[in-house]
Amino acid sequence: MSRVLSWIDFEIKLLLMPINRESKPDVLLVSSLSLFSIIYGYYLKLRFGCKLIFEIRDIWPLTMTEEGGFSKWHPLALILGIVEKFGYRKSDLVVGTMPRLDEHVLERIGKQRPFFCSPLGFENIKPEPIEKERKIALESCFPKGKTIVGYCGSMGISNALETFMECIDILGEDSGVHFVLVGGGDLRRKFMERLDHRTNVTFVNKIPSTAVPHFLSLCDVLYLSTHDSKVWKFGQSMNKFVEYMLSGKPILATYSGFPSMLNESKAGEFVSPNDVNALKVAILKYCSMSSSQREDIGAKGRRWVLHNRSYDRLAKEYLLEMEKLVA
């Protein structure tokens, strides 16, 4: 509800924004943090006679019905569905962070629309140094002589960590594997209580973004998870994938959607969501490798993401699409 109210607040501010003194734009870009913005965007397209780009970062209302547990007949889902279709039909170019959004557009309106994928990436700047005290505190969470599987991120409903928690419990102390989980979230305390009897896991409070690269560098294998959802059918472009791949570590991800990034780079492995045994086998497989084997796999991911996902490169590709649209 708070998210929807923030959308409405944003739309009101858009309507009150003075545009009489604005010069005519060549391209108008509506980025869908609020899906309703495409309505005002279309009005501006007609007023200025410019091209309209509809940029999708989350597929609404599909995310709402698939991962939020709402019925597809919920009034808000129905309204968002109408707005979504309107945007696909009236825009000159649909842009998505996910590689197969064009298939979703075809499903929704029954025809192809001009489409361009502009995924999330990284800013090629020198990272800020981590404080010495925080560095020492982080390193103290890593037991000697163990292979470390790390997770960094929120621990909430949308993060699908239940299978991971069950796997940690099953593997126990005798596996030679230790799990270090960094982050906050609504389910963090519940997970801590569930694994309170286990010594093969360490929970660490949320850390600043400047400390994340150092944490990742201390791990041997990195883990992330998603729900088994139709949303991923059209692919993904997650910040966590980019961040993990930059660390040069092999990645295990529970994911059932359109394969990309991890497959292309050969930097790790996708495991079916909710399959505890498959995840256990994959963890033991990567943890039984030598350090050099894991480094080779992780290096493939780092090379791939450096070549394909810098914002310098992505921005140039996006600008080229805009220039083609205007031409």
Q: CATH number of the domain at 65, please.
A: 3.40.50.2000
Pick the most confident of 5-9, 257-261, 303-307: 303-307
223 in the same domain as 87: no
Residue 127, domain member (yes or no): no
Residue 231, domain member (yes or no): yes
Q: In angstroms, how far is CA 117 from the centroid of its own chain?
A: 15
158 in the same domain as 110: no
φ, ψ of residue 314 to 5 degrees: the values are: -65, -40
pLDDT for 34? 85
Q: Compute the distance between CA of residue 141 and CA of residue 11 in angstroms, rounded to an integer.
A: 46
225 in the same domain as 145: yes
pLDDT higher than threshold 80 for residue 294: yes
pLDDT for 257? 82
pLDDT for 248? 95
152 in the same domain as 95: no
- Poorest-pLDDT segment among 114-128, 224-238, 273-287: 224-238
162 in the same domain as 290: yes
Indicate the average pLDDT of the chain: 90
Whether 117 contacts 98, CB under 8 Å: yes
Length of the chain: 327
* pTM, two decimal places: 0.85
259 in the same domain as 289: yes
User: What average pLDDT does range 18-28 have in this prediction?
Assistant: 86
**3-state class (DSSP) for residue 80:** helix
- pLDDT band for position 271 (50/70/90)? very high
Between 65 and 215, where is the model more confident? 215
Beta-ladder partners of 27: 51
pLDDT higher than threshold 80 for residue 279: yes
- pLDDT tens track for 110-160: 999 999 999 999 988 777 778 888 888 888 889 998 999 999 999 988 888
Residue 265, domain member (yes or no): yes
Question: What residue numbers bound the domain in which 188 lies?
Answer: 132-308
322 in the same domain as 302: no
Residue 114, domain member (yes or no): yes
- Poorest-pLDDT segment among 71-75, 86-90, 204-208, 235-239: 235-239
65 in the same domain as 207: no
- pLDDT tens track for 145-155: 899 999 999 99
222 in the same domain as 321: no
Number of domains in the chain: 2
Which stretches of 140-268 are DSSP H helices? 162-171, 188-194, 212-218, 239-246, 262-265
Residue 126, domain member (yes or no): no
pLDDT for 107? 92
pLDDT higher than threshold 90 for residue 165: yes
pLDDT for 124? 80
215 in the same domain as 145: yes
pLDDT higher than threshold 80 for residue 210: yes
Residue 80, domain member (yes or no): yes
Greatest alpha-carbon pair distance for the chain in Å reads: 70
146 in the same domain as 100: no
297 in the same domain as 168: yes
